Amino acid sequence: MGKISFEGKTLEEAYEIASSTLKCSITDLSIEVVQSPSNGFLGLFAKKAIITVEQNNHTQQKPHKQAYKRKETLEDETLNSKLEALQKSDKKQQVKPSNLKQVPKEKIFEDFYSKEDEDVHLEPIVQKDYTTLKKEIHTKVTALFSHLCYEIDEITVDIIDQGETVYIEFSGADSALLIGKEGYRYKALSYILFNWINEKYKMMLRLEVAQFLQTQENAIYSYLEPVIEVIKSDGFYKTKPLDGILVHIALTKLREEFPQKYVAVKTNIRGEKYILVNEYKNGR
């Protein structure tokens, strides 16, 4: 099949029309943006979004280094649209195994950072070859970021923690731009990817972008060193307010250090999260 043109008021609408017309997922299409949408001036000279699409061959091709020169606003819209499309496609095709613990959708992000009363023990994928699984996830993640405007090396995907966690790493000249100011892009990406991976594969996520996660871990471990000594001495402690991924890192570290204590994420009156370490009470 050759290239076919589609248009819509927005790029997202054009993608949906193409997907509906060709009866396939957006991730199965090679998309080229011919014209970006524009509102014009006072209703004049408005432009519709125009794209050309071609269905991908089923033959697996090795991803190449991606270097594109489009505007950042166009890149963000393209990425968000394809992420949403992938989630919708996965929900339609997904069959949930009855023997695996399910995480309520509305609590996925909360549990990822602040599970309070018990650890989440997820069973590894059964009857699934990890090599095949890694290729499947790698193909889908690469497709999601194939139209990114940044120069990024081939995305690394691995299965770690005895099949309980998917490790995804972004590197390359422009990979740090995926972190965003104060990590807002990293946090958004980790939420979306965790939502998809946990719901479809029942696995956790470790996302590394330009060594951002490693840097955050080193910083929180340095902060926790004297905290751990105080807990050993006094038996309890309340950390300073922590944000985003730092909450998850600190919670994991303190639970490893004090498996017999009550270690939980709490929220103060300003909506800030902190970790409380104390002895179990009332027979707990």
Shared domain check, 159 and 89 = yes
- Rounded Cα distance between 133 and 125, Å, is 9
- Which carries the bigger pLDDT value, residue 262 or residue 14? 262
What DSSP character marks residue 44?
A: B
Domain membership flag for residue 66: no
- Rounded Cα distance between 152 and 196, Å, is 22
Residue finishing a domain among 209, 233, 249: 209
Shared domain check, 134 and 80 = yes
Shared domain check, 48 and 104 = no
The answer to whether 236 touches 204, Cβ cutoff 8 Å, is no
- Closest alpha carbon to 142 in 164, 166, 169: 169
Shared domain check, 189 and 112 = yes
What pLDDT was estimated at residue 147?
Answer: 83
- Rounded Cα distance between 228 and 237, Å, is 9
Domain membership flag for residue 51: yes
- Average pLDDT (47-59) is 76
Shared domain check, 192 and 228 = no
Domain that residue 270 falls in: 212-278
Shared domain check, 80 and 148 = yes
Shared domain check, 128 and 205 = yes
Domain membership flag for residue 63: no
The CATH number of the domain holding residue 140 is: 3.30.300.20
- Rounded Cα distance between 93 and 277, Å, is 42
Q: How many domains does the chain have?
A: 3
The 10s digit of each residue's pLDDT in 219-275 is 899 999 999 999 999 999 999 998 777 888 899 999 999 999 999 999 999 888 999
The CATH number of the domain holding residue 243 is: 3.30.1370.180
- Average pLDDT (25-40) is 78
Q: Is the pTM of this model over 0.85?
A: no
Q: What is the distance of C-alpha 275 from the center of its chain?
A: 24
What's the helix, strand, coil split of the chain in %, to 5?
45, 20, 35
Instruction: With cut-offs at 50, 70 and 90, classify the pLDDT of residue 183.
Output: confident
Shared domain check, 204 and 77 = yes
Instruction: With cut-offs at 50, 70 and 90, classify the pLDDT of residue 86.
Output: low
What DSSP character marks residue 47?
A: B
Shared domain check, 131 and 258 = no
Mean pLDDT of the chain: 77
